[in-house]
Each structure stands twice: as C-alpha cells, then as structure tokens.
Amino acid sequence: MHLVDWFIVAAYLIWVVYDGLKRTKASSAIEGYFLANRSLPWWAVGLTVMATQMSAITLVGTTGQGYADGMRFVQFYFGLPVAMIILSLTLVPFFYRAKVYTAYEYLERRFDVRTRTLASLLFLMSRGLQAGVIIAAPAVILSIVLGFNLTLTIIAIGLPTTLYTMFGGVQAVTWADVKQMVVIVAGLVAVVFALVLGLPEDVGLGEALHIAGATGRLTTIDFQFDLNETYTFWSGLIGGLFLMLGYFGCDQSQVQRYLTAESIKAGRRSLLMSAFVKIPLQALILLTGVLVFTFYLFQAPPMLFNPAHEAEVQSSSRAAEWAALDTEFQSVLDVRRTAVRDAVTARRTGDPAATRVAEAAFVEHQRSLTTIRGRAVSLVKEVTHDDSYNDVNYVFPTFVTTELPIGLVGLIVAAIFAAAMSSIAAELNSLSTSTVIDMYRRHIRTDASDRHYLRVSKIVTGFWGLFASIVAVYAANLGSLIEVVNRFGSFFYGSLLGVFILAVGTRRATSPGAVWGLAGGMVTVTYVAVTSSISFLWLNVVGAVAVFVVGMAISTLFPAHERTVS
Amino acid sequence: MSDFPSPTHTDGLPTAANSARPMTRTYMAVLVVEALVLLALWGFSWYFAN
C-alpha cells in the first residue's frame, strides 16, 4: 500500500476513536451509556442497524460471492422487509413500552427469571465467540493481502473499537456507525465507478454485463423449491424471514440499536429503513463482485486470490505441478479473452444466432478456467492440509490492492475496517449490556448505585473486547472453527424466536413451557442439522416451530393461573 | 419441574391503553417497494441473460 493509503486508513482510525471518546460525557449514567436515554433520531438508529448487520465479511465475502457465483445470494434477504414489518407491529412496541434494557429482560416480565437467564446465557455464549470471529475473519484476509502481521491487524481492529465502545457507550457506537456506513457506501460507489471506467474503451457496460449474464452470474431469482438449496426465492422468503425475525427481534446486538430510538415510531422507522434499503444495497455489493468478474475478462486475474497459500504450494515438493497448472490457466485465459471479444462483436451485429454461438464458446472456455481453478484449490488443500480453503473472500481485497489507484485503496481498506468495527462495537456494547443487566444487576449486585453499574459496564465492555481479541487470535488459525461458530447462530436464532413468539403470540404460554420449549427447540434443531442436509436457513423455521409446539404442549398440560393482568 | 403450575405474567401485552398506532401506509409502501425491487431484479437478470 502507498503512503497516502496508509495515511487515509490511519486518519480514519484516529477520527473514529477521537469522536467516540468525545461522547464519554454524554454517557454519564447507565441509561445513557446503554440506551442513549432513548433519545436518538430514527435515521441514525436505522444506519446503526444496517452497519451492525454489515460485517467486514459481508462486504468482502459478498463481493467475492458475486465474482465466483453471481447475484443469487441476494435472495437470502427476501424475507427481511416482511420481518421488519412484523417486528414493527409486535416486538418494537412491546420492548419499548416495557422500558427494558435487553430483550431477555422482557422474558422475565412475561415468564420468569429462568427463561430470561437461559436466553441471555445463550446470547452471551453465541455472541461472545462470534465477536472473536468477526475480528478474526477480516484480520486474516487483510494481513495476507496487505502483508500485515496477523496479531497486529487483530489489535488494529479490536483495540480502537474496544476503546470507543468502552468509554463512549452506545452514543459512540451509534455515531461511529453512521460515519462508518458513509465510508462503506462511498467506498462501494467509488469502486463501481472505477470498475466501469476500467473496462476497455471499446466495450460498453451493457456489453460486459451481457457476457457476465451468459455465465448465469446475473441470475437473481430461482423459484425452485429445494430444502437443501440455500439461495432460492422460497428459502430466502420463508427461511430468511425466520432468520431475520430471530436476528432483529431476539438478538440483543440488534434489539439494543432500536431501543435507543426516541419513540416507538422512531424505532419502527429505523427498522423500516433497512426494509427499504437492504435488498438494493446487497444487490449493489453483489453487482460489484460481478463487475470485478467483468474487469478480469479483459485483464489477467491470478489463478487463485490467496497469495499466502500460493507461496506455500510454490515452495513445496509439488511446485512443478502448480507451475504446469498456471501455464494451462494462462493459455486458456488467452483463448477466453478472444472468445469474449468475439461475443461482444457478435452481439453488435444484432444476429441472435451468432450471439448465442459466440457466447456458448465463451461459456465453454470459462468452464475450463473454473475447472483449472478447482484443480488448483485441490492442490492447495493437499499441500496445506487446510480442507476449508476457499479464496472467494480474497477476490475483492486482492482486486482493490492491485488494481485501484492510490487513495482509493486507502478508502476501501478503511471501509473494510469500518464494516468490521461497526459490527464488533455493537456486539461488545450488547454483550456488556446483557452481562450487566441480565446477570450482574439481576443476580450479583441488585441494589448498587447507578455510578457503580456504569463503572462495571465499562470494565465489562473492556473485558469483552479483550476476550474477543484473544478468541480472534486463536480463531484465525482454525478455519473450521469459524464455520462451527457461525452455524451455532442458526441453532440459536430460531429457538429464541420461538420463545418470543410464545411470549407475545399467546397468553396461554407458561414459563415452564418457555424453558422446556427452548430446550426442545435446540435439541430438535441439532438433530435435524446432524441427520439431514437441509439448508441452514430452514433450521430457523424448524427451531421456532419446535419451541412453539413443545412450549404450547407443556403449557397446555400444566396450565397456569393467570396472576397479573393490568 | 416441581414448580408446576406457574403463574403467567402478561406485562407488555397490548391493551387498549398502551397500543401504539401502526404505520399502515408505510408498511404497504415497504411491500410495494419490495415487489418492485424483486421485479426489477428479475427483469435485470432476464435482460442480461438473453
């Protein structure tokens, strides 16, 4: 990276930390520290909701997915707008009227302390580990692509985030998120412009997109109903709906965002902002990946995008095999380039038959390239013994650092940092809230002063920041662990959603019904996940339905005497 | 499970006194915009795949 780019990244980090620390005074009481005194405008809350959801892996991985697989991943978000409407009608007013700090606090009011503590523990276990993974994943990629030291990269992401979250509380998190969303969107738009300008002068954007379309990369909607397929219209609409209901309705890292809104209406508006913007934004990110693919139709891409693994193979006993593959890759690349030109020329003639023939020839060469890449991946896996190896997440950072002009590289690296920090800050903030409100204030010190709780909250935030950074150092070396932790989220969201459906959906549900329903849901999801190949999106549906059925059965078998109706 | 049956608490459940008016028009707008976005995505992929 050029010195100017380093300066931009450093300026961004200093700016975010300085601005966050400035907000320490605004967080002088526990309600200010955790909920900004429920005073924030809807648009700021809406941006922080979006920034929390968009981690660095969303930014880097989604563009990589656009490059390798196309835009069908956008279907994952089809259930989000409907989920936001349901939450606006149900949980947002419930939480707001109940004046809770955490979603799980509400479960005690509705059921009992056991349900609250169990739900909170599930959240702390899952999110505590995930916070480490959210730091580790972009740190590994940035350290390899930019040649940084891995531990220093983890510190560069984890330390500033912990500092401003610890001292500035939710105010710092929110206003940092607002700026970070601006940096991320500005960076994306700049990359799209650079990619369009990077096409050869005699090739139009429409022509390049037609070439990408011929490979199926612009297919956005697949109506087949297949429970084993993750990215279809139905899995996105139904499975995605349950996932988003669980994530935005029961995950404290999101619930806490809209609890800071100045009114119920502002809380609702903040969620509906995502409902309007999320699908187009994800489509833009995926399209960026597709445009990187079109860019590399005319420029030579590397065979694989992870330079560290490539170097390892080249220094191994199978270096000759790698060199042979690379030679084959380069020759097919030349043929493919000619095929691309032929396809563009054929389309210009306006002859559909000639266009079809030329595009079919291009697709054939593209398939050959994909096969060679597949063989290269297998070779890397055999040499490095890393079975989870996948270079998709390296496509976008490699493109940015090798092809973009000075200045823009710094902006995009800052945007990747911003995406990582915005998610981590919300995680630390919510982990601290749940630890202090659901555990410490509820079970350990029930009658301390506000000042005491504030001091403890800052210490706990610092602890979670340190814990996440330590987990990140270990997780960075265990690729499969990252998958396990991410999968654990699918086990957790559906089941927790089921408990909240019991809480707000029916007056007949009892606290034993909620506790045993939650346990039953977790067991059912684990069983289905282990014994079938069902897509993880559907696990959220399974979990929610299982909790509801078990919970209602227990509640019906052992009915409660209604005690408080006011 | 010795504490069966347990009391049911209903704090926060909606009543006439605490109901918040939903934003029906905005919800309808969300659904209409989503339908239009999906239609645009489908049209986009159809156009460039042909």
Nearest to B9 among A84, A111, A512 (CB): A111
B27/chain A closest Cα distance in angstroms: 6
- Mark yes or no for CB contact A210/B11 under 8 Å: no
Q: Which of residues 3-22 of B touch A (CB under 8 A)?
A: 3-14, 18-20, 22
Superfamily of domain A3-16+40-296+400-477 in the CATH hierarchy: Sodium/glucose cotransporter (1.20.1730.10)
For residue A86, which of B22, B16, B11 has the smallest C-alpha distance?
A: B22
- Asked if the model's pLDDT at residue A122 lies above 60, the reply is yes
Q: Is the peptide bond between A280 and the residue preceding it cis, with omega within 30 degrees of 0?
A: no
| Dihedral pair phi/psi, residue A238, rounded to 5° | -90, -55
Q: Which pLDDT value is given to residue A137?
A: 81
Which residues of A fall within a CB distance of 8 Å from B49?
A: 213-214, 216, 218-219
CA A426 to chain CA mean position, Å: 13
Q: If you measure CA to CA, which chain B residue comes closest to A80? A: B34
pLDDT single digits (tens) A493-535: 888 999 999 998 888 899 999 999 999 998 999 899 889 888 8
Give the domain ranges of chain A.
3-16+40-296+400-477, 309-387
- Give the residue on A whose Cα is nearest the Cα of B25: A85
The one-letter amino acid at A389: Y
Tell me what the pLDDT averaged over chain A comes to: 88
Write the Ramachandran bin of A431: left for phi over 0, alpha for psi from -120 to 50, otherwise beta. alpha
pLDDT band, residue A349 (cuts 50/70/90): confident
Q: Whose CA is closest to A171, among A283, A299, A274, A20?
A: A20
Chain B interface, best mutation among A82, A84, A218, by max B CB count within 10 A: A218
Q: What is the tens place of the pLDDT at every residue in B17-40?
A: 444 566 888 999 999 999 999 999
Bridge partners for B9 per DSSP = A564
Cβ distance B9 to A212 less than 8 Å, yes or no, reads: no
What pLDDT was estimated at residue A352?
A: 87
Nearest to A248 by CA among A7, A400, A74, A50: A50
- The C-alpha atoms of residue A517 and residue A538 are separated, in whole angstroms, by 18
Phi, psi of A70 (to 5 degrees): 100, -160
- CB-based burial, A136-170: b 16+ in 10 Å, e otherwise: bbbbbbbbbbbeeebeebbbbbbebbbbbbbbbbb
The number of beta carbons lying within 10 Å of the beta carbon of residue A533 is: 7
In chain A, pLDDT over 90 holds for what percent of residues? 49
A89 interaction partners in chain B (CB closer than 8 Å) = 22, 27
Decide if A276 and B12 are in contact by the 8 Å CB cutoff. Answer: no
pTM: 0.88
Interval A54-60 mean pLDDT: 84
Per-residue pLDDT averaged across B6-16, rounded?
46
How many beta-carbon pairs under 8 angstroms link A with B? Answer: 135
Nearest in space to A512 (alpha carbons), one of B45, B7, B20 = B7
Q: In the structure, what pLDDT confidence band is assigned to residue A319 with cuts at 50, 70 and 90?
A: confident
pLDDT at A267 over 90: yes
- Give the percent of chain A with pLDDT over 70: 96
pLDDT at B16: 43
How is residue A404 annotated by DSSP?
Answer: S
- Please check the confidence at residue B8 and state whether its pLDDT lies above 80: no
At residue A565, the pLDDT reads 38
**Residue A127: both structure tokens together:** 């999110």
The alpha carbon of residue A469 is apart from the nearest alpha carbon of chain B, in Å, by: 38
Say whether B8 and A561 touch across the interface (CB within 8 A): yes
CA distance A461 to A455: 10
